Structure 1
Amino acid sequence: MIPVTLRKLALTLLFSGIISGCGPDTDLSSEAHAERAQQLLDEGKLKPAILEIKNALRTEPANAELRWLAGTIYLEAGENAAAEKEFAKAIELGIHSVDSELPLVRSWVAQGKLQEGLDYFGAKELSSLSLEARVLYAEILLASGEVSQAEELLEAVLEESPDLVEALLVLARLEIGRRNLPVAKRLIDEIILQEADNPFANLIAGELAVAQEEPDKAGDFFAIAEQDSRTKTLAKLGLARIALIRLDYPLGHSITRSILDESPNLPIARYLKGLLYFQEGEYESAINELENVIAVIPKHTASQLLLGKIYLDNNQLERANLALSTVVDSDPEHLSGTQLLATTKLRLGQPEEALSLLGEVTADSNDALSLVVAGSAHIALGQTSRGAVLLEKATAIIDDPSLLRGPLARAHIAAGDFDTAVSELRTLIQSGTQGPETHLLLAFAQISKGDLAGAYTVTEELKQAGFTIFAVNLLGAIELRQNNLDKAKKHFISALEEDPAFIPALMNLGRIELAQNALEQAQTHFNSVFEIDPTHADAALALTEILVREDRVDDAIELLREFSDHNQSSRALIVLAQLLSQKGKSDEALQFATRANTLSPTAPETAIVLALIQNGLGLNNEALTTLLKVPEQRRNGQFNLAIAQTAQVANRLSLARSTLNSLIEESPTEVSPYVNLISLELAEGDLLAAQKVLSSLPETTAGYNTLYPTLFGDIHRSAGRYEFALEYYQKAFQEGASAKLLHSIAGALLKLNREHETISMLEEWLSEHSDDLPTRLLLANQLMLQGDDGSAIEHYEEILKYSDSHPLALNNLAWLYHQNGNAKSIAIAKKLLNLGIENGDILDTAGWIILNEGDIEQGLSVLSRAHDLEPGSADITYHLAVALQRNEKYSKASKVITNFIKAYPEHSNRPEFVAILEGQKGSR
C-alpha cells in the first residue's frame, strides 16, 4: 500500500533537489520532465509518466530525488523490480527523508521478497518506527506466517491511531486467515463505506467474499482492485480463487501461469497453483508447489495448513504434525490449524494432546469438527460416556452423519471396542465410500478381534474395487498375525513387485527380517522407506535398532540426531535421549528428552524416560513434576510405582507412601509395591513399619516362599544384623536359587568378613552358570580387592569375550594390566575413551594410564575431563596434579591441590598432597 503522503513527499524532495542544480538550461530540462512525470503520476497515467522520468534521468542520472520519483512511479505501475532498483539507487546517492527506505521495502514485498523485509525491520528499534512503517512490518509478518507477532504489532498501532485504514486492512486479512469472517467483514464494511474506491480495501473485500464462497460478489470487488496497478496482480490471483470455487480448473491454471510468467517467485501464486492441484487430486504436484513456497517463506500459514491437510489425508502423520505445528506455533488462535493438528495428535495416539489443543469442548459447542475430535479423544482415553455425548451432538448438527463414521470407528478401535468399529466401518462401506483406507481399517479391527476370516473377506473386496496392492499387503499382514513369516514375506514381496515404493510392504518386510535377525536385508528395506519419506519415524527407529544391534551406537545416535533436526517425533527424540544416557551423556540426553516431553507432555513413556534422566542428574523434584503432569487416566501400575520411587528420592515421603499403599490396595498380590514400601521404611530407619508391611504380604503372592525370607533378610541387613540376614537369604536361596539372592548372600558374608567363603560360593555358582556376567564381575572385583590379580584378570577377560565393550570390566582390566606392567593396558585405555562414556572414574583410569605411558598431553586432557566430572574425588585430583606437573605446569598443580584441600580439609595431611605442595613430583 502506498500512502498519498508518499507521492507528495516525492515531489517536495524533487523540487528541493532541482533548486540546487547546476546550470539553468540543464535544470530547466530535468525540471520540465520531472514536473510532467509528477503530473502524470497524480493523474494515474503511469506509462507516459515512466517515459518522462526516464528523460529526466538521462539528463541527471545521479540525482537522488529523480531516482526516488522514478521508484515511486514504477511502484505505482506495478513494475516492482524496476522500483527496487531506483529506490536502492536513490538511497545509495544519499536521499534523506522520513522513512526513506520504506518504498524500497514495499518493492521487496510486492516481489515476494519477504525475508529482506523481515531482515530490514529486524535490525530496527520498534519504538523508532513510524506508524506507516509498523503497519508495513505487520503486513510482512502476516505474509510470513508470524501471525501472533503481526497481531501484537497491529494492536499497538491501533491503540495509537484507532482509525488508521492501512492497519485495519491488515487486521482484516489476519482475521480472514483465521476464519473469523464476521470480524473481518465488520472491519472491511466500515472501510468500504468511507473509501469505496480504495483498491486495497476492495482487494481484501474480495478475499473475504472468496472465503464466504460468494464468487459473484468477490468478482465485483476484484474488478475494482484490478484497475489499480498496485493491486492488479493480487486481484488477478483473486480471479483464480473464484475459478477454484466454480471448479473451473483450466481457468485457474491459466491465470496463475500468466502471473508466474511475469513473477516466477511470487509465493502467493505458487500457493494458489498448489491449491489448484490439491483440488484436482494431484497431491504430488500440490506438495511440490507448496514446498516451493515454504522454501522461501518457511512459516507461510496457508501453505503449511494445506500441506498438513494433504499429509493427514494420506496418513503421513509425522509430516502432518510438523506442518500443522508450524501453523499453530505461529498463531495459537488459528482454528482450522488447531483442529487439524488435534486430529493428527489423535491419530498419532496422543488423545491428551488433542484435548489440550482444543481446550474445553462441551455439548454446547456448534463446531462439528471440534466435537468429533474431542469426542473421539475422550473415547480413546476410556471416557466413553463423555465422548459419546459430544459425538451425538456432532451427528445432530452435521449435514452428512456418515462423515462421522470414520472418526467414530477410529475412536472405537483406539478404545479397544472392535465390534462397534467393525459395525461403523461396514455401514460406511455400504454407503459407497471410495478409497482403500476404510477397508484397511475394517481389516485391522477384524484382525485385532481375531476374526481372520472377516479380514480375508476384506482382501477380496479390495481386489474387486481395484486396490490389488492393498489386498496383497493385507494378506501378508493376516499371515503375519498367524506367525506364518514365510507366507507373509511372499505377499509383501509380491506387493513390492507391483510397486517398489509401496511403504507398508517395505516396512512389513523389514520388520520380519529384523525379527529373523537378517539385519542387512532389513536395513535395505528401511533405507528404501527413508529415501521415499525422510520423515518416516518408524523407519528411522528401525534403522536405529539395527545399528544398536550391530554395536554401532554412535552411528545410531548420529542418525537420530539428524532425523530430529528436521522432524518433530517424540518417539525418535526419546530413543535418542535413552542412547545418549547409556553413553553417559546425561546433559545432552536431558535436552532431547525435554524436547520429546514438550511435544508429548502427557505421554507416559516419554515422561518416564525424562524422569529417569532427571533423577540421574539429581533433579529429583523436577523428575517428580514431570511424572505428575501425566493425567491419572493415562497412568498404570508401573507408572505409579515410578511416581512412588521418585517421590521417595525427592523426599516426598507422604506421597510415596500413599501411592504405594494405593497400589497395594489395588493389586494386593503385586510384589513391587511391597518391596518399595519396605525399602522406604528401612531407609527411614523404621524397622517395625517395614516388618508390618511385610506381614501384610498375602501368602498367595507369587513366589511367596522365596520373597518373604528375602525381604526379612533385607530388614535384618538394614538393622546391621548380618548373621540373621544371611540366614534368611540362605533360606530364600534354598526355595528358589537366583543370581540376585546369591549377591545378597555375598553381601552379608562380606559384611561378616568371610571373604574366602564368598569367593568359593561365587566360583561354585559360575561353574554351572558360566554366562552370568554380573556374578563373574562381582567375583573378579572381589579377587582384585583380595590382591589375586591373576585370577581377577582371567575373569575380566572372560567377561569381555561375551561383552567386549563392558565399561567396568575394561576399566578394571586396564588398571590391573597397568599395575602388572602389561603393555595391553594402553590399548584398553584408548578403547575406554572411544566408548565416549562421560564417567569420572573411567576417564581417570584411561587418563592415568595414557599419562604414564608417555603421552603427557592427552593424559592431561583426559584427566582434566575426569576432574570436571568428579571434582570431589581425591584420587582424580591427585592424578590431575601429577599430570600438570608432567606438563611443567607446577603452579597449576599446586593450585588444584590447594583448592581441593580448602573444599575438603579432611584430606589436608594426605601424604601425596603434601608432597605436591612441597614441590615433589608425583609418583606413578
Structure 2
Amino acid sequence: MFLIIINDLEMLSRPVREVSHNDRKESRQVEPRARTRPMVVYSSPRRTTSRKCYYENGPGVDKPCSMTLRYLHERLGATCALNGSPMKSMKRKDRWICAGAVTAAVFGLGGCDLRGDTEQAHLQRAKDFKTGGKLQSSVIELKNALQKNPDNAEARWLLGETYLDLGQAPEAEQELVKAKELGFGEEEVQVPLGKALLAEGLYQRVLSEIEANPAFSPASQSKIIAVRGEAHLGLRQLDQACALFAQSIDVDHSYVPGYWGLSKCAGAKGNLPEARAQLEKALKLEEKNSGTWTMLGDIERFTSHQPEAEAAYANALKYKPDDLDALLGRATSRITANKPEEAAKDIDAVLTIAKAHPVANHLRGVIQYGKGNYADAKTSFEQALAVSPGYFPAVLWLGYTNYALKNYAQAESQFAQYVTEYPRVVQVQALRALSQARMGGRKEAQQTLGLLRNAKIEDPQSLSALGQTHMLLGEKDLAARYFREVVTKMPERAEARIELANALLQKGENEQAIEQLQKAIALSPGETQADEQLIQTLIQTKQFDKAKAAISALQARQPKSPAPHLYSGLIAIQQNKADLAEAEFLKAWELAPDDPRAANNLAALEVRKGRIEEARNYYKKVLDRGKEDLSTLMGLYNLELAAKRPDEARKMLERAAAKYPTATQPAALLAGSYLKAGQPSKAIEITQAAAQANPNDLQLLDVRGIAYLANRDPANALEMYQRLVKLLPNSAEANFKLGAAQAALKDRAASASFAQALKLEPSHLGAKLALAQLDLLEGKNDEALRLARELKKEHPETVEAVLIESQALAGQKKLP
C-alpha cells in the first residue's frame, strides 16, 4: 500500500510552494514585454590557429600556415570583443566580431599528364587536377588508381599530400605512413608526414619520428629542421624552436620558411619590428612568394592594421589566386572590419577548393553567429570539428553558439574542453560558470567560480558574466558588486547600467535602480529597453505620476512606438479606468497592428467585462495576421478552458507547445494533461526542450518528477526533486515528493524527507500517510498509531488512516 499511495498522481499533483514565502499575486494583465537581452559573453581564443604547418608547394617553393603566433594574443591583447560589447547588446552593424580562429594548413600543387583508364592514367590525371587546384577531383583519381593497385606508393604519397592540402591531416598521415611502408622515398615522405603530425598537434611524435638524415639533400634537411622547429613551437619551447629555425637557414640560406620561423620567434618575444624584418628578408629571396605576404597580412591583422593587412593579402593572392591561407586570412580581416559579405566570398572560394576545410567552415560559422543565425552557425562549427576535432577555436565558438541557443549543457561541455587546454582564459571560465548556473548546477558553478577567486579580472565581459552567475545563484550582493565594476569600467555603456539596475531591484534598492535606469536612458536615447524597464519599475512601485512622466519622455522621443500607450493603458487599469485603458490600447494597436500586445490587453479587458466572444475575436485577429504569439495562444487557451471547451483549449495548448518548445507554461500544462491520460512518457518528451532551456523552472521540475515516477523511473524523479528541494528548501510539498522518489528507490532517507515535510506543514496529508506506513514497515507501531489518529482528526475522509490504525493496533496486539 505504501508505494501505491506515494505514486498516486492525485497525491503528487499538489503544487509545490515555498511555505515561508508569501504568494506572489498576478496584479497585471498581459503586460508589454521589455526587450531583455541576455549577455552572450565571448572572447578570443588564446591560441587562434589550426595546428597545421608548412609543406611543399612545388619544387623549391614552400607555403606557410597562417600565423600561429598565439603570443600575439597573449602579448598584444588581441580580443574578439568590439568595444567591450556583449554580443546580444550590440546593434546589428556592430555584431560582426573578429574570428578567434586563425587560418591553418598549407596547400600544394603537382605535375601533369594525359587522360586514360590505366593506373598510371588515373595518377597523371590526379596530378593535373592538383596542378589546377581541383583537389577533390585529384583525390577521386588517386583513389581510382589505388583501387587498381593498392600498393602504388607514389599514389599513396600524392594522396597524403593532397589530403594535407585539403586540411584533412589524419587522412594525410594515414596515406603517408602507407607510402613509407611501401618503400616510397623517406626523404620525400618525411616533410609532409611531419606537417601532417603538426596539423594534428602531435608535436612530440614529430620530434620522435621526423629527423634529418645527413644523407638527405641540404634542401630536405633544411625543411625537416624547420618542421622540428614548429614542433618545439607547438610545445611552447621557444628557445629550441628559434635555434632550429636559425639552423634551417644555415643549412639552406634560400629556404624561405626558415625566415618565417624566425619571424614567429621575434613576434613571440614581442619584437614585431624584427618579425617584419625577417619577412622582408624572405621577400628579397622570393618577392612573389604568397606565403610571405600572407604572414605579413597576419601580423598586420593581429596588430589591428586592417588596411595594411588587406594590402598584404591582396599581394599574396595576386601571386597565387588560390592561396587558401591568404583567402582565409583576408576573410578573418574582413570579419573584423565588419565586412561579412566580402569575407563570405573568400570563404566560399576556399570551400570550392577544399569543401571540408575546418577553418573555412569555422569562419563561416562566425559570420552566421554574427547575423544571429545560431542554428546554421552550430552546423558550421560542427563541420569544422568533424574534420579537426582538436581545433579549439571551433570548440570555443560552438560553445558560444550553444549558449546562445540555450543548449547550456552542450555549451558547458565545450567550455570545459576549451579551458582544459587553456585554463587561464578568464572569459571562458566565467561563461562556463554561468552555463552551469543556468542548468541549476549550483555546486558546479561555485567550483568554477572558485577557480577565479584569486584571478585579477579586468575585462567587463567576464565581470558581467560573473554578475549574472551570482544573480542566478541568488547572491544578489555579489552580483551587484560585479555589475558596479562593469559600470565603473564602462560608464558610458547603457547596458551595463541596466544590468546593475536589475541587481539593485532584486535587492529592493528601487531608488538606486531607478537612478541607474535614468542614466542608461540618457546614454542611449535611441533605445527603449531602459525606458520600458524604468516605467515597469515605477508602475510596480505604484509611482504612477513618475511613470507617466517617463512615458511622456519616451513618447516624445519615439512618437510612433506603441509602448507609451501600452504602459498608459496599464496604469489606467490599475486606477480602475477601464475606458481610458481601452482607448490607449486601441491607439497602440493602430500604431503597430502587427504587435500582439495591444490586442492581448484588449482581449483581457473584454474578459473582465464578461464579453468572452469579443475577447476571442481579439485573440483570433492576432492569429489571423500570422502572429503565433505565445501570450495570444495561452490567452485563448485560458479563454476556451473557462468556456468549458476543452478540445479547443487543448488545440491552443498544443499549438503553443509546438511553436514554443522551450516555453515552460505550455509544456508543463500539456505534460499535466498527458499524465491525466496515463501517458507519462509523452509528458517527459513534451517537456524535454523546455526543461533544457529552463533547468530551474519549478513547475517543470515538479511535473517531470511526477512523470518519471509514473513511468517507473524513480532515479530521474529523484534528480528532479533533489533540485526542487535545493530551490525550495522550505516547501513541504517539495520535501514530500523527494521522499516519494527516495521511497520508490527503497532509500531510507525517505523517512527524513517526510519528517521534514511535516515539520514545515504538520497537517500534510501525503507526508503523514507515507511516514505512518514507513513506521509500520519498520515495526514502529506506536508512532504509526499516533500519526494515524492525527490523520483521522485532520482528514476524517481518509480511508487509509483507518487502515493504518488497525494495522498498528494489530502490531500492538490491541485489536478487539
TM-score (normalised: structure 2) = 0.52
Question: 290, 299, 310: which is aligned to 1:219?
Answer: 310
Equivalence for 2:69: none
- 1:521-560, aligned counterparts within 5 Å? 521-560=648-687
Residues 590-620 of structure 1: CA deviation (Å, up to 9, x unaligned): 32345678xxx7x54899877656666789x
How far is the alpha carbon of 1:495 from its aligned partner? Answer: 1.1
Equivalence for 2:626: 499
Residues 1:267 and 1:429: Cα distance change in structure 2 (over 3 Å): farther
Equivalence for 2:500: 374
Residues 1:258 and 1:674: Cα distance change in structure 2 (over 3 Å): closer
How far is the alpha carbon of 1:540 from its aligned partner? Answer: 1.4
Alpha-carbon separation, structure 1, partners of 2:269 and 2:560 = 38
Alpha-carbon separation, structure 1, partners of 2:468 and 2:761 = 33
Say yes or no: does 1:333 pair with 2:426: yes
Contact 1:503 1:529 in 2 (8 A): yes
Question: 690, 711, 715: which is aligned to 1:587?
Answer: 715
Say yes or no: does 1:412 pair with 2:537: yes
How far is the alpha carbon of 1:519 from its aligned partner? Answer: 3.8
Alpha-carbon separation, structure 1, partners of 2:504 and 2:232 = 37
Question: 474, 479, 482: which is aligned to 1:352?
Answer: 474
Residues 1:523 and 1:388: Cα distance change in structure 2 (over 3 Å): same
Question: 452, 455, 460: which is aligned to 2:587?
Answer: 460
Contact 2:463 2:482 in 1 (8 A): no
- 1:301-700, aligned counterparts within 5 Å? 301-302=396-397, 305=400, 319=406, 333-334=426-427, 350=472, 352=474, 360-362=482-484, 365-367=488-490, 368=493, 369-384=495-510, 387=513, 398=523, 405-406=530-531, 408-409=533-534, 412=537, 416=541, 419=544, 423-424=549-550, 426-432=552-558, 453-454=580-581, 456-467=583-594, 469-480=596-607, 485-499=612-626, 501-515=628-642, 518-561=645-688, 564=691, 568=695, 570-571=697-698, 573-579=700-706, 583=710, 586-593=714-721, 603-604=727-728, 646=756
Alpha-carbon separation, structure 2, partners of 1:777 and 1:320 = 45
Residues 516-549 of structure 1: CA deviation (Å, up to 9, x unaligned): 5644333322322333333333321121122234
Contact 1:206 1:238 in 2 (8 A): no
Alpha-carbon separation, structure 2, partners of 1:547 and 1:435 = 42
Alpha-carbon separation, structure 2, partners of 1:609 and 1:102 = 64
Matched residue of 1:39: which SS?
coil
Q: How many residues align?
A: 568
Matched residue of 1:352: which SS?
coil
Residues 743-770 of structure 1: CA deviation (Å, up to 9, x unaligned): 54968xxxxxxxxxxxxxx9xxxxxxxx
Higher helix share: 1
In the alignment, structure 1 segments of 5+ residues that lack a partner are: 11-35, 110-116, 134-153, 166-182, 312-318, 624-641, 650-671, 677-719, 727-739, 748-761, 763-771, 788-924
Alpha-carbon separation, structure 1, partners of 2:614 and 2:741 = 49
Q: Which amino acid aligns with 1:528?
A: R
Alpha-carbon separation, structure 2, partners of 1:245 and 1:292 = 22
Matched residue of 2:628: which SS?
coil
Contact 2:365 2:377 in 1 (8 A): yes
Residues 1:248 and 1:440: Cα distance change in structure 2 (over 3 Å): farther
How far is the alpha carbon of 1:494 from its aligned partner? Answer: 1.8
Alpha-carbon separation, structure 2, partners of 1:463 and 1:334 = 45
Say yes or no: does 1:778 pair with 2:785: no
Alpha-carbon separation, structure 1, partners of 2:689 and 2:717 = 15
How far is the alpha carbon of 1:496 from its aligned partner? Answer: 1.0
Matched residue of 1:360: which SS?
helix
Matched residue of 2:488: which SS?
coil
Contact 1:564 1:572 in 2 (8 A): no
Say yes or no: does 1:91 pair with 2:177: yes
Alpha-carbon separation, structure 1, partners of 2:197 and 2:560 = 49
How far is the alpha carbon of 1:559 from its aligned partner? Answer: 3.3
Question: 376, 380, 391: which is aligned to 1:293?
Answer: 380
Residues 895-919 of structure 1: CA deviation (Å, up to 9, x unaligned): xxxxxxxxxxxxxxxxxxxxxxxxx
How far is the alpha carbon of 1:462 from its aligned partner? Answer: 3.7
- 1:56-67, aligned counterparts within 5 Å? 66=154
Contact 1:560 1:573 in 2 (8 A): yes
Contact 1:381 1:415 in 2 (8 A): no
Matched residue of 1:557: which SS?
helix
Contact 1:376 1:387 in 2 (8 A): yes
How far is the alpha carbon of 1:207 from its aligned partner? Answer: 5.1
Q: Which amino acid aligns with 1:376?
A: N
Alpha-carbon separation, structure 1, partners of 2:637 and 2:464 = 31
Residues 1:783 and 1:442: Cα distance change in structure 2 (over 3 Å): same
Alpha-carbon separation, structure 2, partners of 1:348 and 1:443 = 35
Q: Which amino acid aligns with 2:427?
A: H
Matched residue of 1:467: which SS?
coil
Residues 1:334 and 1:746: Cα distance change in structure 2 (over 3 Å): closer
Alpha-carbon separation, structure 2, partners of 1:102 and 1:241 = 27
Residues 1:444 and 1:353: Cα distance change in structure 2 (over 3 Å): farther
Matched residue of 2:60: which SS?
helix
How far is the alpha carbon of 1:503 from its aligned partner? Answer: 3.4
Residues 696-717 of structure 1: CA deviation (Å, up to 9, x unaligned): xxxxxxxxxxxxxxxxxxxxxx
In the alignment, structure 2 segments of 5+ residues that lack a partner are: 1-48, 65-105, 115-119, 128-141, 211-230, 243-266, 283-291, 386-393, 420-424, 435-460, 765-781, 811-816
Residues 105-147 of structure 1: CA deviation (Å, up to 9, x unaligned): 77xx7xxxxxxx6xxx7xx9x98786999xxxxxxxxxxxxxx
**Relative contact order, CA 8 A, sep 6+: which one is greater?**
2
- 1:733-812, aligned counterparts within 5 Å? 743-744=789-790, 774-779=797-802
How far is the alpha carbon of 1:405 from its aligned partner? Answer: 1.9
How far is the alpha carbon of 1:62 from its aligned partner? Answer: 7.1
Alpha-carbon separation, structure 2, partners of 1:483 and 1:228 = 78
Alpha-carbon separation, structure 1, partners of 2:738 and 2:150 = 66
Alpha-carbon separation, structure 1, partners of 2:618 and 2:190 = 73
Residues 684-731 of structure 1: CA deviation (Å, up to 9, x unaligned): xxxxxxxxxxxxxxxxxxxxxxxxxxxxxxxxxxxx9xxxx99xxxxx
How far is the alpha carbon of 1:589 from its aligned partner? Answer: 1.9
Alpha-carbon separation, structure 2, partners of 1:131 and 1:333 = 34
RMSD over aligned Cα atoms: 6.5
Residues 825-871 of structure 1: CA deviation (Å, up to 9, x unaligned): xxxxxxxxxxxxxxxxxxxxxxxxxxxxxxxxxxxxxxxxxxxxxxx
Alpha-carbon separation, structure 2, partners of 1:325 and 1:410 = 36
How far is the alpha carbon of 1:187 from its aligned partner? Answer: 9.2
Q: Which amino acid aligns with 2:158?
A: A
Alpha-carbon separation, structure 2, partners of 1:561 and 1:275 = 28
Q: Which amino acid aligns with 1:575?
A: D
